[in-house]
């Protein structure tokens, strides 16, 4: 009878710093594997600490505490299958990103990550020492090679493991989402399989951590690159994969291959999951936001309702003398469709009081953006008061286009603890609203059907801070603005390249200028869901003081 080997894959959601809680999740998964007759139960990279820890892992007491929890897991899993789990290793004064393999109450192997990513959201060269390339570890039936995350994106480590006798590649990951990243992952992993001739397990975690969402999608490839198993994206799952030894080596038994949603659904799910986990992991059960009657706040309210349930979302309309009856009606209709609470607090008297207090000082000046920003800052003050009084976390509602060019008031509409649409350009805001009106999934806690009134989506955007104001009074049309922003920010194109693509040089230079002078605002802005590989958080690190401009 052919040799068989069962691996239980635990695609789970850890919480950074909850060492005991993460260890308990790992133990529960191990028990599931034990009851299913597994030979090995595997968890993702740095699971016991949660990921990413950033500089927290450099605190020696934290690393030692994590290692103590690993020791407890080693002892608790002595009777049953092997356990493989990611966590730090502090040894000889050096800190490593390690993968710990326990069996029978003893340590079988500590694999040390060799290739440390140091780009986009990753700073692992700051945190860890690179480990040597080690050989596979043997559980008596099969030899398993473990390239940890980035190790598998480079051919050297998997090839070295294959040459030293590995029969299966198990790749534990902490791989966060960005749009269309799954294609990149699977292409890299297929390349490793073709190069080594070995089956490969790509094991990822799920869940939100600050701006990042780990999207799961754990998959198994057989030799020659055939996809034979895939777990759902974003959902926790503990599943078993059987391997059978054949004349040509080990192969995974084909099982269910979960479908991959399109990029619109994945983006929306990321915004929902990031807010849901940010609130859950920081202890907030409710949120509040300013609902203006515009499209951005309508989308944020919808995301919040889907993440936490409409009963946990407080919307607040804060009308001024410039607020139109249309906006009041649109805010009311949006809240009604979503089933959220809607409170109304007028800022007319507070604005008059503030202008009166400043009238002597401002004598001889003309009204300008100063008076506009007073309105926005008073709204922020009122919303923060509501947040303090009732314990709701305040959500901010600026899209990526506004965040990019500073079309927002610092300490005003930028006030808040989290921004679900921070990485969503305005043109995608419109399309995302239409997508949500046409789609509902069982992971959404908000109501089905058309939840954002079409009139809200279709009307010309306006901050309503002065009479007859429109966004396009100050900015290029969003179709043009977003295309330029994608070029300058996402693709790091030069001014000359964008002009060559057909954009007016004067417009490109204006947008470039606005991006650079708004850096100080973004530095102080709330975190938000990362949807692209050039989001405004860890992906983009520009100086606040910067006199350089592109003269091309």
Residues classed as catalytic: 45, 113, 149
Burial label, 21 (beta-carbon count in 10 A; 0-12, 13-18, 19+): middle
Rounded distance, CA 146 to CA 112, Å? 9
Rounded distance, CA 377 to CA 395, Å? 15
First-to-last CA distance in the chain?
70
Q: Could you identify the residue written with the tokens 């989001």?
A: 535
Rounded distance, CA 452 to CA 421, Å? 15
Closest CA to 432 of 422, 421, 445, 447: 421
Instruction: Provide the token pair at 460.
Output: 């010309």
Which residues lie below 8 Å from residue 378, measured CB to CB, with a gap of 6+? Answer: 347, 350, 351, 354, 412
Rounded distance, CA 411 to CA 382, Å? 11
In b/e form, how buried is each residue of 175-209, taking b as 16+ CB within 10 angstroms? Answer: bbbbbebbeebbeebbebbeebebbbbbbbbbbbb
Query: What is the chain's length?
Result: 552
C-alpha separations of 156 from 89, 111, 144 in Å:
23, 16, 16
Which residues lie below 8 Å from residue 342, measured CB to CB, with a gap of 6+? Answer: 291, 315, 316, 317, 331, 332, 335, 336
């Amino acid at each position: 009878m052919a040799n068989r080997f069962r691996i239980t894959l635990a695609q789970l959601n850890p919480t950074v710093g909850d060492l005991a809680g993460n260890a308990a999740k790992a133990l529960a998964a191990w028990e599931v594997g034990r009851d299913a007759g597994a030979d090995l139960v595997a968890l993702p990279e740095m699971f016991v600490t949660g990921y990413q820890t950033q500089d927290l892992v450099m605190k020696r007491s934290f690393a030692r505490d994590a290692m103590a929890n690993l020791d407890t897991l080693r002892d608790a899993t002595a009777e049953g299958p092997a356990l493989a789990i990611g966590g730090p290793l502090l040894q000889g004064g050096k800190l490593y990103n390690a993968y710990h393999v326990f069996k029978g109450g003893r340590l079988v192997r500590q694999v040390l990550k060799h290739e440390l990513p140091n780009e986009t959201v990753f700073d692992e060269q700051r945190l860890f020492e690179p480990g040597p390339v080690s050989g596979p570890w043997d559980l008596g039936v099969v030899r398993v090679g473990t390239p940890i995350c980035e190790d598998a994106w480079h051919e050297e480590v998997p090839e070295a493991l294959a040459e030293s006798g590995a029969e299966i590649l198990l790749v534990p990951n902490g791989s966060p989402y960005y749009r269309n990243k799954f294609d990149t992952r699977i292409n890299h992993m297929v390349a490793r399989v073709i190069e080594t001739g070995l089956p490969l397990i790509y094991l990822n975690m799920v869940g939100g951590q600050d701006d990042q969402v780990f999207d799961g999608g754990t998959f198994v490839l057989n030799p020659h690159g055939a996809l034979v198993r895939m777990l759902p994206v974003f959902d926790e799952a503990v599943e078993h994969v059987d391997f059978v030894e054949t004349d040509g080596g080990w192969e995974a038994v084909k099982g269910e291959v979960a479908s991959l949603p399109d990029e619109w659904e994945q983006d929306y799910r990321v915004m929902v999951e990031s807010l849901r986990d940010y609130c859950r992991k920081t202890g907030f059960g409710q949120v509040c936001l300013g609902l203006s009657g515009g499209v951005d706040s309508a989308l944020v309210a919808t995301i919040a309702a889907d993440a936490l349930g409409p009963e946990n979302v407080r919307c607040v309309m804060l009308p001024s003398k410039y607020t139109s009856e249309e906006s009041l009606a649109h805010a009311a209709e949006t809240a009604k469709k979503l089933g959220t609470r809607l409170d109304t607090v007028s800022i007319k008297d507070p604005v008059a009081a503030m202008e009166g207090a400043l009238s002597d000082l401002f004598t001889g000046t003309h009204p300008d953006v100063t008076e506009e920003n007073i309105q926005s800052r008073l709204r922020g003050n009122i919303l923060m008061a509501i947040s303090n009084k009732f314990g709701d976390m305040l959500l901010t509602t600026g899209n990526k286009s506004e965040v990019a060019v500073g079309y927002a008031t610092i300490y005003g509409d930028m006030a808040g603890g989290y921004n679900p649409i921070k990485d969503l350009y305005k043109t995608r805001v419109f399309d995302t609203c239409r997508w949500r009106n046409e789609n509902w999934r069982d992971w959404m806690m908000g109501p089905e059907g058309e939840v954002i009134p079409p009139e809200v989506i279709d009307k010309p955007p306006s901050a309503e801070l002065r009479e007859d104001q429109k966004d396009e009074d100050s900015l290029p049309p969003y179709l043009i603005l977003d295309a330029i922003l994608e070029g300058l920010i996402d693709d790091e194109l030069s001014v000359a390249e964008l002009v060559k693509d057909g954009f007016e040089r004067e417009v490109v230079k204006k947008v470039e200028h606005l991006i650079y002078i708004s850096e100080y605002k973004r530095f102080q802005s709330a975190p938000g869901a990362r949807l692209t590989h050039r989001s405004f958080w860890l992906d983009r690190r520009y100086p606040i003081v910067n006199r350089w401009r592109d003269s091309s």
